[in-house]
């Protein structure tokens, strides 16, 4: 028999975002989040948790996108550091939720496999599911069309989950070469590319319209 873990990663991250919201929106704090926006984000985070708990993995990505869009749509009066903290927590929440869903789906498929009928009663060992591997996050901040601090470099292993998160003060397209994945980024917005590293090699990430490299990703076999 397999014992399903509770969802500590998703719960902790959701609660962490919730605490940030409580601190931010209380008492008209300067640079805080408007009460209406905070309430909407809390509701969306709760929906993510409920979808994972219910095993509705097909719904999780859309609900996570709503959380990310709501953070990106916060008014300009919100403190920049607070906004970035929420984005960081949202990225971790995204990866944990998808990983939890993947583990639960694989476990369900294993448990529902038909077993041959026998007359012998055996006791199955109790096992605990391992924690899902977290994604490797490549974080880039582009200012004026170039990566602040220079090209961001990261090395991962084949099979790793990877999330490339690009914030930019100019509109462009973020292109991961080799995997040929592209995302739009608006001025002042964030683009996210999430994928599993299945192709070994060295790959450039660039602001496509400007032809500027912003990151360098090496995938080892």
Q: Does the pLDDT value for residue 103 go beyond 70? A: no
In this predicted structure, the answer to whether residue 4 has a pLDDT above a threshold of 50 is no
pLDDT at 211 over 90: yes
Going by pLDDT thresholds of 50, 70 and 90, the confidence category of residue 27 is very low
Q: What is the pLDDT of residue 162?
A: 92
CATH architecture of 136-220: Sandwich (2.60)
The pLDDT score that the predictor gives to residue 214 is 97
In angstroms, the CA 81 to CA 89 distance is: 12
Please give the residue that has the higher pLDDT: either 174 or 192: 174
Q: For the chain, give me the number of helices (H) and strands (E)?
A: 4, 11
Distance CA 12, CA 17 (A): 9
- C-alpha 149/C-alpha 50 separation (Å) is 39
What residues does each domain of the chain span? 2-106, 136-220
Give me 188's structure tokens: 């002042």
How far CA 13 is from CA of 97, 106, 123, 172, in Å, comes to: 10, 23, 36, 30
> Which of the four pLDDT bands, split at 50, 70 and 90, describes residue 60?
confident
Is it the case that residue 170 has pLDDT exceeding 80? yes
Topology, domain 2-106: de novo design (two linked rop proteins) (1.20.1440)
Picking from 6-15, 168-177, 202-211, which range would have the lowest pLDDT averaged per residue? 6-15
Average pLDDT over residues 42-56: 79
Q: Has residue 17 got a pLDDT over 60?
A: no
Q: Is residue 204 scored above 60 in pLDDT?
A: yes
pLDDT the model gives residue 189 = 87
pLDDT greater than 80 at residue 23 = no
The helix (H) or strand (E) run that includes residue 191 is: strand 189-196
Mean pLDDT within 55-76: 79
Give the pLDDT band of residue 25 (cuts 50, 70, 90). low
Q: Which residue has the higher pLDDT, 171 or 113?
A: 171
């Amino acid at each position: 028999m397999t014992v399903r873990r509770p969802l500590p990663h998703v719960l902790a991250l959701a609660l962490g975002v919730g605490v940030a919201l409580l601190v931010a929106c209380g008492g008209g704090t300067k640079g805080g989040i408007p009460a209406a926006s905070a309430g909407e984000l809390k509701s969306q985070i709760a929906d993510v948790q409920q979808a994972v708990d219910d095993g509705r993995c097909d719904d999780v990505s859309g609900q996570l996108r709503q959380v990310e869009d709501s953070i990106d749509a916060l008014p300009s009066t919100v403190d920049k550091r607070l906004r970035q903290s929420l984005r960081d927590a949202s990225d971790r929440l995204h990866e944990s939720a998808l990983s939890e869903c993947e583990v639960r789906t694989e476990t369900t498929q294993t448990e529902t496999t038909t077993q041959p009928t026998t007359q012998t009663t055996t006791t199955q060992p109790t096992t605990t599911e391992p924690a899902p591997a977290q994604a490797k996050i490549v974080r880039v901040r582009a200012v004026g069309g170039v990566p602040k601090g220079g090209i961001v470099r990261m090395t991962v292993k084949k099979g790793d989950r990877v999330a490339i998160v690009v914030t930019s003060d100019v509109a462009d397209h973020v292109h991961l070469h080799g995997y040929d994945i592209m995302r739009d980024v608006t001025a002042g917005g964030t683009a996210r590319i999430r994928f599993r590293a299945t192709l070994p090699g060295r790959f450039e990430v660039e602001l496509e319209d400007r032809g500027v490299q912003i990151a360098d990703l090496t995938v080892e076999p």
